[in-house]
Structure 1
């Protein structure tokens, strides 16, 4: 077993960034306040999985299948966002696993493991950012970014920094 304390500063920073980034992304991904609107005398927050809607007399959580937008039920962009964010989460978890193996197992402390880590991190960031863009572009001007999407964005930034640390480690080896 290798010792994390013996790892380079780049890899220690990468580990912290990946742990924080993944945690923030999971919190943002699973909560309901990605986009928020207070138009039409009601308050509404939309997440990747549910809509929280308040009318004049009640508030409720609804799934996208049970909720219509001006009589339409066109949520292909939500399904695309769900798929992209799930793929991003899978890549983030795989990259975290590869990083932990690289840091903890002597036989995994090879250049190939580091390259796999960097590729998985940047794939995760790519899918997360594209998913956020798809969700944000479709909703329009009456919405603004909610705290859940902010957590997901900050999580992706932390992961990106972790990937940069992996590239710096690659160039130093």
Structure 2
């Protein structure tokens, strides 16, 4: 098995070359370890994204929702859509595992779950940034909403995207 170059397939690196991976495990053991690690990571975000989505789904039924301007209503719909998308992607590995359970397809389950997690985290970052814009705009005005969007969008990009990318490439950040 070749070491994949893409970030989405970095978990494959070293399975055929035990010395490089630094672990004394078979490819199946490595896949099992990666699956368990991914599930632990997803447990952390699944509850939060589900709560966020549930909260967002109740907002239109609140009295003050009617005072939102048209642009904020559009932003709200984008935030709801990305939050629902994040929920779907971050829970998808459970469904994927159920479909391949006991069919000796752990490699495809790990690959799919990893990709769903990456997409789900990206959607969650967009949703969280949008929520910040909605709240800051509603409470403190349009300028504060724009600043909040820039600040939280930058934090999301820096901490969730750029820093891990630098680590993956072997540089310090």
The TM-score with structure 1 as length reference comes to 0.47
Q: TM-score, normalised by structure 2?
A: 0.47
Higher helix share: 2
Higher RCO (CA-CA < 8 Å; seq separation 6+): 1
